[in-house]
């Protein structure tokens, strides 16, 4: 954990003043205050993170009734489970008696969740089954003390949660992605590899790094020699146009290159971002691997390679890069003012056999090494931003366009 000085005079009024000042500076990177302020971080959790749709996991992680896994956000823990009726459930990992966590192991199978402190017993759907000797309290009713619910939507095998129980449903937004996304058959995919990179930096620095490719040519040489996103659009238009023209025939999927843009202020509701576009790889490369050649059987309905990659966003903090032979999911999770988990999950066709059809290390090679490079530059970015002498400069109008959209949305959320 990186330790930085705390402004003991910081408060919500000061935060709102800083928001108003930053909103006057369109096109300029955020003031270091927003990466250092403990008050701002607390407001971010309450008003942004816990009110947004977040990727929690894949249904393959809970194949059987009673299976569960935990998702940690900030200082909080959330249980995602498949209950005894086969339904996906999510609830806060907090006993309704005195607040002890009712589940400690990161994953497993349980018939019930039992609080280790005073023995209250909860069913896997979160309902309170038994509260030892609480019949001594007049009027006590177990149904009044179920685990607090977290909202759940499941899309193509992907489990999304929202701690705002009154949040609008995410499925109608996600379904805008159906045509290009369905061909991957994510509901039948399997996890080939999963890695968590713990970065000592504020979550916004980690996210902003992902949102722009201005740094790709200088920081990610292996990625940059394959992916046209590292260059200005005017230099790659012909490659992208050629890829789009052959995509449907080459992949066997009509509409695989369809575009959807509904993120941040353009999202249909708060925290419900959805986006996709398909961009070209440079000639001679088929997929995102060490040498750009296939590393696994084709996904879902794919019949071949078009020399393209599908770029996706689902919610404010979840992204995917989908190649014809594997899919890569990025999830960013705030864990503290100066701590962020970058989690990456690599998916392959559900019928693929490890060792025979794919090698997990080869599937994950490119984005593992790219993420190590990201970790390096984010840490140096964090060190500079946390200097009291840092003065923010202008964003690049093309490469950092989405970063500007994120910052505008972020400031609006804090202002509310």
* 213 & 330 share domain: yes
- For a pLDDT cut of 90, what percent of the chain falls above it? 96
pLDDT in tens, 104-120: 999 999 999 999 999 99
Number of domains in the chain: 2
pLDDT in tens, 47-80: 999 999 999 999 999 999 999 999 999 999 999 9
Determine the structural domain holding residue 93 and report its residue range: 60-154
Domain assignment present for 164? no
Q: In what order do the strands lie in the sheet with 121-123?
A: 112-114, 121-123, 128-130
* 401 & 328 share domain: yes
* Mean pLDDT rounded to a whole number for the chain: 96
CATH of residue 129's domain is: 2.102.10.10
DSSP codes of every residue in 101-147: -S--SSEEE-SEEE-TTT--EEETTS-EEE-TTGGGSTT--GGGGPP
- The structure tokens listed for 244 are 């789009």
* 150 & 292 share domain: no
CATH of residue 325's domain is: 3.90.380.10
Question: What is the Cα–Cα distance from 48 to 162, expressed in whole angstroms?
Answer: 11
Radius of gyration of the CA atoms of the chain, in A:
22
pLDDT in tens, 111-155: 999 999 999 999 999 999 999 999 999 999 999 999 999 999 999
User: Is 80 exceeded by the pLDDT of residue 313?
Assistant: yes
Give the HSE-up count for residue 26: Cα atoms under 13 Å, Cβ half-sphere: 6
Question: What is the Cα–Cα distance from 349 to 293, expressed in whole angstroms?
Answer: 17
Contacts of 2 (CB under 8 A, 6+ apart): 200, 201, 338, 339, 382, 386
Domain assignment present for 9? no
Which of 344, 346, 289 minimizes the C-alpha distance to 318? 344
* 230 & 137 share domain: no
* 66 & 186 share domain: no
User: Is 70 exceeded by the pLDDT of residue 335?
Assistant: yes
- Position with higher pLDDT, 298 vs 388: 298
Domain assignment present for 194? yes
For residue 77, the tally of other CB atoms under 10 A from its CB is 17
407 pLDDT band, cuts 50/70/90, is very high
* 193 & 339 share domain: yes
* Cα of 289 vs its chain's centroid, Å: 22
* Cα of 343 vs its chain's centroid, Å: 8
* 368 & 228 share domain: yes
Domain assignment present for 75? yes
* 183 & 207 share domain: yes
């Amino acid at each position: 954990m990186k330790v930085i000085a705390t402004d003991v005079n910081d408060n919500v009024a000061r935060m709102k003043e800083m928001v108003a000042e930053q909103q006057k500076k369109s096109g300029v990177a955020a003031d270091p205050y927003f990466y250092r302020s403990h008050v701002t971080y607390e407001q971010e959790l309450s008003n942004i993170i816990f009110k947004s749709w977040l990727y929690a996991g894949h249904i393959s992680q809970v194949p059987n009734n009673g299976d569960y896994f935990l998702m940690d956000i900030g200082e909080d823990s959330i249980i995602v489970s498949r209950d005894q009726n086969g339904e996906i459930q999510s609830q806060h990992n907090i006993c309704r008696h005195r607040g002890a966590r009712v589940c400690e192991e990161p994953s497993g199978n349980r018939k019930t969740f039992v609080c280790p402190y005073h023995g209250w017993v909860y069913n896997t759907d979160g309902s309170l089954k038994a509260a030892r000797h609480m019949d001594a309290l007049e009027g006590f009713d177990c149904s009044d003390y179920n685990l607090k619910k977290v909202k759940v939507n499941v899309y193509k095998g992907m489990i999304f949660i929202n701690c705002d129980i009154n949040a609008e449903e995410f499925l109608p937004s996600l379904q805008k992605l159906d045509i290009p996304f369905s061909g991957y058959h994510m509901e039948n995919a399997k996890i080939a590899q999963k890695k968590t990179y713990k970065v000592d930096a504020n979550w916004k620095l980690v996210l902003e790094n992902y949102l722009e490719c201005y740094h790709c040519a200088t920081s990610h040489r292996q990625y940059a020699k394959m992916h046209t996103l590292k260059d200005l659009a005017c230099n790659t238009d012909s490659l992208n146009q050629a890829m789009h023209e052959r995509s449907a025939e080459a992949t066997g999927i009509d509409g695989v290159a369809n575009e959807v843009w509904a993120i941040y202020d353009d999202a249909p509701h708060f925290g419900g971002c959805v986006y996709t576009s398909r961009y070209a790889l440079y000639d001679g490369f088929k997929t995102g691997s060490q040498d750009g050649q296939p590393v696994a059987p084709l996904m879902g309905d794919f019949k071949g390679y078009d020399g393209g990659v599908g770029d996706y966003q689902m919610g404010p903090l979840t992204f995917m890069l989908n190649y014809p032979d594997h899919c890569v999911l990025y999830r960013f999770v705030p864990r503290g003012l100066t701590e962020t988990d970058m989690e990456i999950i690599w998916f392959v066709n559900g019928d693929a056999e490890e060792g025979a059809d794919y090698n997990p290390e080869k599937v994950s090679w490119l984005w593992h090494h790219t993420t190590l490079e990201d970790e390096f530059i984010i840490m140096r970015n964090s060190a500079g931003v946390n200097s009291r002498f840092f003065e923010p400069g202008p964003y690049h109008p093309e490469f950092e366009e989405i970063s500007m959209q994120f910052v505008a949305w972020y400031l609006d959320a804090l202002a509310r």
